[in-house]
């Protein structure tokens, strides 16, 4: 890749290539297959930084054999949340002199050409200086269904309102202008808030249409439904009450702030939160009453703009 002019800052930045991309992987009690997933990442980038939020050296990422010059582990003494961990990673990427970062969750199995495909998508942009982030379509590990359909002959990318953290490529220069990830959200909607902020600043959010990784959205159960209207399915992610709190609180806070930026996305997001609470929680495996309470509590904290780590001890029990 050559150089692309960043019109907003009057600077010139190098396009992404393997040598100038550093991966950031946030971990929290990673499973025994994490090393295999990590190997798929590290072969596609110049260096990999692991931000371990486990807080236990015997259970975290550092407990696994990873002696290599292309891997660096930053171990937090406690779980500081996804936003703060991503900020730690981006800060370290800047210190090391890499111009691009690609972020991952610990449970994503990525395609062998994920990074190369994202690089090729960047190369096709008529105004690369407007690219804020490039994410990727993925297959849900539980349902084996892609996030969005990919028809034969369709373009390899499209513009979208938001992408998830895992598999997203972003330039360090753009990060500096957009500001850090919101650590006060702790978890959930950290990625979406960042994308909507990019849109607000005039950048584009792009996604590959082809699924480039297998990613788990919770521990889901799939139920078949039959009715007079036809056949369908109900996907239950079985999130904990704590996650239901964060998803509701952060989703509503982000919706309120960015409604004028992406009204269609905001309405769809809020509708999804409400539909889950009303229609899906009664079907979940356990703690249904507690999940309802967590949802209501999250909505209450959103109304009073109360962010940060959840303060109610009952949510974690």
Own/partner pairs for 288-297, CB < 8 Å, 24+ apart?
Answer: 290/241, 290/314, 291/239, 291/241, 291/244, 293/241, 294/241, 294/242, 294/244, 294/245, 294/248, 295/244, 295/245, 295/248, 297/245, 297/249
Q: Which sign does the torsion angle of CA 118, 119, 125, 129 carry?
A: positive
Choosing from 215, 232, 265, the residue where a domain stops is 215
Paired strand residues for 251? none
Task: Fill in the DSSP letter of residue 144.
Answer: -
Segment 128-149, tens digit of pLDDT: 999 999 999 999 887 778 888 8
Please state the rounded mean pLDDT for residues 77-89: 97
Segment 253-301, tens digit of pLDDT: 999 999 999 999 999 999 988 887 877 777 777 788 888 899 999 999 9
Asked if residue 201 and residue 110 are part of one domain, the reply reads yes
Q: What percent of the chain has pLDDT over 90?
A: 67
What CATH number is given to the structural domain containing 35? 3.90.550.10
Asked if residue 288 and residue 189 are part of one domain, the reply reads no
For residue 62, what pLDDT is reported? 60
Name the band, by pLDDT with cuts 50, 70 and 90, for residue 53.
Answer: very high
For residue 315, what pLDDT is reported? 86
Instruction: At 16, give phi and psi (nearest 5°).
Output: -70, 140
Choosing from 186, 215, 244, the residue where a domain stops is 215
pTM of the model: 0.89
Asked if residue 250 and residue 111 are part of one domain, the reply reads no
Segment 157-184, tens digit of pLDDT: 999 999 999 999 999 999 999 999 999 9
Please state the rounded mean pLDDT for residues 203-223: 82
Choosing from 187, 215, 243, the residue where a domain stops is 215
Boundaries of domain holding 256: 221-316
For residue 218, what pLDDT is reported? 60
Asked if residue 173 and residue 24 are part of one domain, the reply reads yes
Asked if residue 229 and residue 107 are part of one domain, the reply reads no
């Amino acid at each position: 890749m050559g150089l692309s002019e960043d019109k907003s800052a009057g600077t010139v930045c190098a396009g992404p290539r393997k040598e100038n991309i550093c991966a950031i992987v946030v971990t929290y009690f990673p499973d025994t297959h994490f090393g295999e997933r990590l190997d798929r990442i590290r072969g596609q980038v110049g260096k990999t930084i692991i931000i371990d939020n486990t807080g236990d050296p015997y259970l975290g990422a550092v407990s696994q054999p990873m002696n290599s010059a292309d891997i660096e582990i930053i171990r937090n003494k406690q779980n500081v949340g996804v936003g703060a961990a991503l900020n730690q990673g981006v800060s370290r990427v800047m210190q090391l002199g890499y111009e691009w970062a690609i972020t991952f969750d610990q449970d994503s199995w990525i395609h062998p050409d994920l990074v190369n495909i994202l690089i090729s998508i960047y190369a096709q942009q008529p105004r690369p200086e407007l690219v804020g982030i490039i994410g990727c379509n993925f297959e849900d590990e539980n349902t084996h269904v892609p996030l969005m359909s990919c028809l034969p002959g369709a373009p390899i990318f499209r513009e979208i309102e938001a992408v998830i953290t895992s598999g997203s490529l972003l330039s360090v220069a753009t990060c500096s202008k957009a500001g850090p990830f919101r650590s006060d959200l702790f978890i959930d909607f950290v990625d979406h808030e960042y994308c909507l902020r990019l849109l607000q600043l005039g950048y584009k959010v792009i996604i590959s249409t082809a699924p480039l990784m297998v990613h788990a959205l919770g521990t889901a159960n799939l139920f078949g439904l039959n009715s007079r209207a036809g056949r369908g399915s109900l996907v239950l992610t079985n999130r904990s009450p704590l996650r239901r709190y964060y998803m509701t609180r952060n989703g509503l806070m982000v919706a309120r702030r960015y409604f004028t930026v992406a009204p269609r996305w905001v309405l769809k997001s809020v509708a999804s939160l409400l539909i889950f609470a009303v229609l899906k929680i009664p079907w979940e495996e356990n703690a249904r009453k507690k999940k309802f309470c967590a949802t209501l509590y999250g909505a209450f904290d959103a109304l009073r703009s109360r962010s940060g780590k959840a303060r109610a001890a009952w949510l974690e029990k």
